[in-house]
Structure 1
Amino acid sequence: MKDIEYHPLPFFLPVDTQLIMLGSFPPKQERWSMNFFYPNFQNDMWRIFGLIFFQNKDHFLLTGKKAFDEDRIKKFLIYKRIGLGDTAKAIIRHKDNASDNFLEVVEPTDLSIILKEIPLCRAIVTTGQKATDTLISFVQTKEPKIGSFSEFEFEGRLMRLYRMPSSSRAYPKSLAGKAEIYQTMFGQLGLL
């Protein structure tokens, strides 16, 4: 029997979070370049952010290192009011990688608790199919196409669920192509 892995990071929730981005679960820690979300140096999330907000894919890299600048990323997210977390609290990894195809969600995150902590939040982004599937079972809305959104209500609050392309390099779209889709979403939410 495979071991159950529990999520090693707490949710990152600026006080006035407007948007929360949810992945499925982080890779094994030996693949981390920092102690934060999207930690794998091969993952392009922080390059996407760099392109959109600073026109420089390397903006969030530590100079001379194969690592992201955790402090710079956190300050930026607080400034932009963007929270981060994952839809799975506990998983079984059926292969020795971070691919959603081989993750079994044992315990999903209770998102009602998270959403109550961030009453100004009006949108959730999922960044992969496993995260989307897990979230859809919670919010009960139709799954949006990649790059678009559906709406749902949470305790009287009208919210959007955006389905964005995965920032994994395994996802078959260029960095610029992914950044363009994310930029449209940030623009619609007034976060540019």
Structure 2
Amino acid sequence: MDWYYPNFTNDMWRIVGLCFFGDKMHFVDSARKTYRLAELQAFLAECGIAIFDTCLRIRRTTGTASDKDLEVVEQADLDGMLRALPRCRAVLAAGQLATSIFTTHYGIDARHLKMGGHVDFSFENRAIGLYREPSSSRAYPMRVEQKAEYYRRMFQDIGLL
């Protein structure tokens, strides 16, 4: 799949399926071991959920995708992203690296930001919530159902559930 979270072992789209449909297989095409991209994109657009990377280029320092083994080569234009999304009221950082990049860029004190927590910050006179959620990678040691509970609380908090 040529899109965000394309790796079939990544749980992001299973998490979204659990949160919104109570079914981790909702967006899964089991026969092809991929995701139903058109259905997924239509659903996200209908809900007003945008996807964006914090990094445009990374280098794997080992053979894993663990955040600790990634070197950031080029960060994304986070200001440009928020300007392009004038109705954005919340940002989800899925994993420690994304959280670190975002909090550093915006000068957010996240020392006490726990998993599942959020902190509000201001961007060009807009209040935006930054939510720290567990990584959807299978390398992150948490069952998909547990991860989905964190995400579900965030979606409820921002009014999507």
Give the TM interval when normalised to the shorter protein.
over 0.9
Q: Identify unmatched segments of 5+ residues in structure 2.
A: none
- TM-score in terms of structure 2 length: 0.94
CA RMSD, 1 decimal: 1.1
Relative to the length of structure 1, the TM-score reads: 0.80
Higher relative contact order, chain-length normalized (CA < 8 Å, sep 6+) = 1
Equivalent of residue 54 in structure 1, options 4, 18, 21 = 21
Structure 1 counterpart of 2:133: 164
SS at match of 1:158: strand
After TM superposition, the structure 1 = structure 2 runs for residues 12-31 of structure 1, keeping only pairs within 5 Å, are none
Identify the match of residue 147 of structure 1 among 103, 116, 130: 116
Which of 87, 105, 119 aligns to 1:120? It is 87
What residue is the counterpart of 1:35 in the other structure? 2
Counterpart of 2:47?
80
Counterpart in the other structure of 1:27: none
Q: Distance in 2 between matches of 1:127 and 1:188?
A: 16
Q: Alpha carbons of 1:182 and 1:138: their partners in 2 closer, same or farther (altered >3 Å)? A: same
Question: Which structure shows the bigger proportion of residues in helix conformation?
Answer: 2
Structure 1 stretches lacking a partner, 5+ long: 1-33
Corresponding residue SS for 1:36: coil
Matched, 1:109 2:76: yes
- Per-residue CA deviations over 1:148-167 (Å, capped at 9, x if unaligned) read 10111000001110000011
When the two structures are aligned, how many residues end up with a matched partner?
159
What is the percentage of aligned positions where both structures have the same residue? 45
